[in-house]
Structure 1
């Protein structure tokens, strides 16, 4: 079992490294500067984390936080920033059409010779070079969108394959993965929809703001606080209403806070700015702005419901305790037929004079 845990640990980190290297390779291809390969040195942080995890944790995960996913974000996010800030995607459709025609011509020329080469295995290296050349000639926008999509998919798959920590169960992990699927779809829609607008793409400051909010929204993936159910110790329950409320409703409050302050809230602000200030109005932008608004309102409504329910749960035990004290203070003849909603505490020596 321990060998399987180490295998999942190493395979997941290997996928993270390979994807980040593909991102760096694409940046060097687009920028035309080999110095961007220095971004690959960020993978040394992930290598160091892997060594420490295998040595001290035997491949097991950490509580509340995933360092591997956080370091993967550090590795891939700079490459995606550089690709999104790069200009030169005007002739994407023309390039894609020319590429498809070029590939079709190569497939149509001398099929007998191609079949012989496949059978004999003589030209495998040349075929691989042609394949890599075709990949590098794919439209820049298509490459960037593909990196975004595979990035989000690897976050979900990696969180699934990584060994879980000691405080999260399989049921909580499945709940977390379902949350990540919906979150990833919303984030991908946000970046592809807003950055695809011409008014946004021609404004570098606005692109930086959108990418900054996108980076901020990605910070929720290394965390698993939204699915933890904490049992509050007795010392916390005696420190006041607010601390007890935050302790007992911690998972729901984390879920609300992530949505309002990390994802739907910032996304709503950006979309409202695009609609009101930049006069960018289209059907999808308005729809997702309304969706973000409804999600924020529903989460605030849920917060109010949680607060009222917690207050009511505190009020009822206090009323029951008062009724129990009244029951103990009454004469023995008047106690018949009086029910106690809570279990009675044992009679101490101080209350022995009340016992008939």
Structure 2
């Protein structure tokens, strides 16, 4: 009888422990799911403009789990079909914004590289001798042709400055260093006609990463460097580096997760013969001594917030003047996509003030 009672107690203890373990597993699962649900678990930010909140409300992020599932089975060919469709839509938007802000766009070639000259209706007299060279974003695979001018139009209009937009070659047909070489060709050509410190170089996302990689290349080639850099939420590393790749997964409505376009591009498409560890491809892995003064921007929901912060710290540790701007509630490059918001206008005004301070 005692033995049976002891046995029953043992089973009770075992059942109790099993129940506790089950509860812990379920709690852990729900915790993991709540992290992966991402944006839907976040309230709309209070301290942003009505325009930004409306945009966030109308276009929430896809869940990270679903996003990763979709890209798990996507081929490069299918991805490039979607890229072509996106570029067509973006080209139409470029023409709409250019018309609204009275910015003229003229196609040209510099040493065989396709470029666009953007000229605002009125140029600020302080920018009369200045030129902004824009490297478009798009994950190193989007933004071909006219669609490459989406941010260039805003920079030209809001800064009242001439802009040269470089339609650099992109993978999968042209992996690195093809795009970098195009930027270097254009830069060498411009140096024949303009002082280096009268020109700024910059862009957003892949354009920010390419700005940093190109500057590493300019240094290696012994070229004079731009008077200022614009580094908008850059692809700093072709690896999953930094806290925000985890904390903002699913909260960033644009990039959503590294395990999608970013993984495909960095793992299979972009690095080419250089490899993902090369500083031209992953600029964070290079040295930043003697870099030009740099303006950086990101947002609290940006998947590449850590890339931006890490680049900023490397610049500061190298003794470079670098301004970091982080906006509340913004996902990746919201300042350029929600272009009619107060935050967007504020950002480009800040950028313009930085250019006026540093260009000669």
TM-score, length basis structure 2? 0.23
Computing the radius of gyration from Cα coordinates, the structure with the larger value is 1
TM-score, length basis structure 1? 0.24
Larger % of strand: which?
2
